[in-house]
Chains A and B, each alone.
Chain A
Amino acid sequence: DAGVIQSPRHEVTEMGQEVTLRCKPISGHDYLFWYRQTMMRGLELLIYFNNNVPIDDSGMPEDRFSAKMPNASFSTLKIQPSEPRDSAVYFCASSFGLSNEQFFGPGTRLTVL
């Protein structure tokens, strides 16, 4: 397996634009997680899915953020409209079972100007 795949690896956009981050989890994993990492706040859990269903989105900062998982092999994290304070590295991770090792993707480095 290629591991968790994220795209794009880097994204630079202007304030107010819509940003869509993509993730392909490891085949067979039933949990998918979205994290944000910044120097200010470290690694934060935004939302996670179980069998494509959102379970806990309490970490989503505000209504500008939304996440979907239309099928077991694809998830998106969307920011609309984006703001400079959204600049961070966004990681997707997947696992088999909830309380098990999570496999992280390489991350998407987002810069909002």
Chain B
Amino acid sequence: GESVGLHLPTLSVQEGDNSIINCAYSNSASDYFIWYKQESGKGPQFIIDIRSNMDKRQGQRVTVLLNKTVKHLSLQIAATQPGDSAVYFCAEISAGKSTFGDGTTLTVKP
């Protein structure tokens, strides 16, 4: 029979623009969240994390927002660069167990 793969959301932005990648999580008991970046042919790489007692955390060019009411997580990348092109995963951690989202493909056009 025909195989059906995951249909990853895609986001295409112009270099220099800001990017926002969204993630809905499922477990209201999750107490820790991580955003990972995966470039082609490589393993996922940590970008930024946030604990459930926070609603915002900022890194160098990245910001993560957590809305526990609607179980939503977002990753904002400022001044997006071609090197930011990758698949981005959110992970929710509950009782130490990580569950990864399907991922969003970000393409940055020069």
Contact = CB atoms under 8 A, between A and B. Distances in A.
A28 B99 CA distance: 24
Contact of A107 (B36, B43, B89, B96): B43
Interface stretch (B14-22, B44-52, B73-81): B44-52
A40 B2 CA distance: 12
Contacts, number: 49
B5 interface: yes
A39 B6 contact: yes
Nearest to A44: B100
Contact residues on A (Cβ < 8 Å of other chain), bracket: 20 to 34
Interface string A94-107: 00001101111111
A99 B32 contact: yes
A43 interface: yes
B70 interface: no
Contacts of A106: 41-43
Contacts of B4: 40
A102 B46 contact: yes
B98 A102 contact: yes
A57 interface: no
B43 A45 contact: no
B25 to A, nearest CB: 14
Which among A42, A91, A93 has the greatest number of chain B C-beta atoms within 10 A?
Answer: A42
A6 B5 CA distance: 26
Interface string A34-56: 00000111111100000000001
Contact of B46 (A43, A45, A101): A101
Given A101-B46, A104-B36, 11 more contacts: A39-B6, A42-B100, A42-B102, A44-B100, A45-B98, A45-B99, A93-B43, A93-B44, A99-B96, A104-B44, A107-B42
Interface of A: 4, 33, 39-45, 56, 91, 93, 98-99, 101-107
Interface of B: 3-6, 31-32, 34, 36, 41-46, 49, 89, 93, 96-103
Give the 7 A-B residue pairs with the shortest CB-CB distance, closest first. A104-B43, A98-B96, A39-B5, A43-B100, A101-B46, A99-B32, A104-B44
